[in-house]
Amino acid sequence: MTTPSNRTDDVRMRGFARRTTVAEAIGWLDGRVQRLDEELLPLRGAAGRVLARDVASEVDVPGFVRAMMDGFAVRAADTAGASPYHRLPLAVVGESMPGRPFAGRVGPGQAVRTMTGAKLPDGADAVLPVEVVEIQGDRILAAGEVSPEKHVGRIGEDIQARSIVLAAGRRLRPQDLGLLSSIGAAQVPVVRRPCVRIVVTGNELLPAGSKPQGTKIVDSNGPMLEALVARDGGLAVNPGIVGDDPGAILDALRSPSDIVLVSGGSSVGQEDIAPSLVTEHGELRIHGIAMRPSSPTGMGWLDGRVVVLLPGNPVSCLCAYDFFAGRAIRAMGGRAADWPYRRLRAPLRRKAVSTVGRMDYLRVRLIDGQVEPLAIGGASVLSSATRADGFVLISDDSEGYPAGTEVEVFLYDT
């Protein structure tokens, strides 16, 4: 995390007198988060992680000339003129198997039985495929000819020593692990996973796994945020409910982490403690964003760490996470900042109404290839985000779209 160096160009809001635009908030955030440092991981734990540095190979792969077919290692010249009608005899003097090379040398008129991947014996320069050979005891009859280098893989054909095999920033795919293994990499330098302190506030909350009782409700944002953080490559540290107590919340804000997410109490009401704490002990740079839902979102920093204040309403919490917190976590972990959601384009079944000056995050369903905005409920209705197939954005310069407009849908089902 960098500490802000230039206060004059910052977008500062007090209360919700003026709401920051989504673009401004993202701009502030992008300027404040940095890719984390590296850690060395055993190869087998590195799938999906992001390379912190270029990786070069110390070795050629393969490190020896190899047979690329099952057949017989020969001197190509010995097969000149061979055909089904003019078969040429060769003496079989041994075999070369993968990992068990032939110890001798192939002389004129000789052949060594060989398998794909085995070392080509010294003296041989080609592989005569088994399909063009008749085997007769300890000799073969070549029924076809091969040219030098035929069915032979050269040293470094796959990877050359000192070449860069994978570049910094690469998110490691399964085949990348195979490649790294083949060059003898036991450990790989990857970007450290961001440690994300999730602070769920609210005296009305019972921990996940409880039954709702009377006016006590069960925390839904905690489990949701943990899953979102894991999806985006972060490591949720010490998640759990913190009561609406300023001391406890401040302790949580200051506990070791790379970024802090606070759920609930992000508005300007009497019990909205977190914004006051960030203002008092750090700096609350953005508070109130021109979007729906999630307008009570806040951002700032404290003890050098970015703090994102997420609204307590679960849909607002999801939306604010997706716009801001997830972006920051992905970037810190070296991933692309963009959403991990798949996208498609489809026409609206009904008009979608918004207001200029506000970004709308509209939950939608796909019905017969068309986009149906969900009419149900507000930001407190989490089932609107589980019934939805995804969401559509209506930008802050738009009043919405008439029915039939083709829109881009971000699909929740990644």
Give me the least distance between CB of 133 and its own copies, in Å please: 13
User: Residue 251's CB: how many other CB atoms inside 10 A?
Assistant: 12
Q: Which residues, 207 to 246, sit near its own copies by CB under 8 A?
A: 208-212, 214-228, 230-231
Q: For residues 80 and 148, is the Cβ–Cβ distance under 8 A? A: no
b/e sequence 324-353, b meaning 16+ C-beta within 10 Å: bbbbbbbbbbbbeeebeeeeeebebbeebe
Site for its own copies in 333-372 (CB under 8 A): 342
Sign of CA pseudo-dihedral 399, 402, 407, 410 = positive
Using alpha carbons, select from 264, 286, 408, 319 the residue that is nearest to residue 30: 286
Q: Which stretch binds its own copies (CB under 8 A): 14-22, 32-40, 103-111, 374-382?
A: 374-382
For the chain, the first-to-last Cα distance in angstroms comes to 29
302-321 residues in contact with its own copies (CB under 8 A) are: 312-314, 318
Instruction: Map residues 123-152 to x or -, x wherever contact with its own copies holds by CB under 8 A.
Output: ------------------------------
Count helices and strands (H / E) in the chain: 8, 28
- Are the C-beta atoms of residues 391 and 410 closer than 8 Å to each other? yes
Distances from the Cα of 82 to the Cα of 43, 111, 128, angstroms: 49, 14, 11
Handedness of CA 149, 155, 159, 160 (dihedral sign): negative
- Stretches 138-146, 286-294, 349-357, 373-381: which one binds its own copies (CB under 8 A)? 373-381
Binder of its own copies out of 13, 52, 112, 385 (CB under 8 A): 385
| Contact flags string 42-81 toward its own copies, x per CB under 8 A | xxx--xx----------x-xxxx---x-x-----------
Stretch binding its own copies (CB under 8 A), from 23-31, 72-80, 84-92, 159-167: 159-167
Site string for its own copies, 386-405 (x = CB under 8 A): x-------------------
Distance of alpha carbon 389 from alpha carbon 346, whole angstroms: 13
| Residue with Cβ nearer its own copies (302 or 385) | 385
Q: By CB under 8 A, how many residues form the interface with its own copies?
A: 87
At what angle are helices 273-281 and 246-254 packed, to 10 degrees?
A: 60
Q: Which residues, numbered 163-192, are part of the site for its own copies (CB under 8 A)? A: 165-166, 171, 173-184, 186
**Among positions 378, 403, 404, 405, the unique one binding its own copies when judged by CB under 8 A:** 378
Q: Does 41 bind its own copies (CB under 8 A)?
A: no
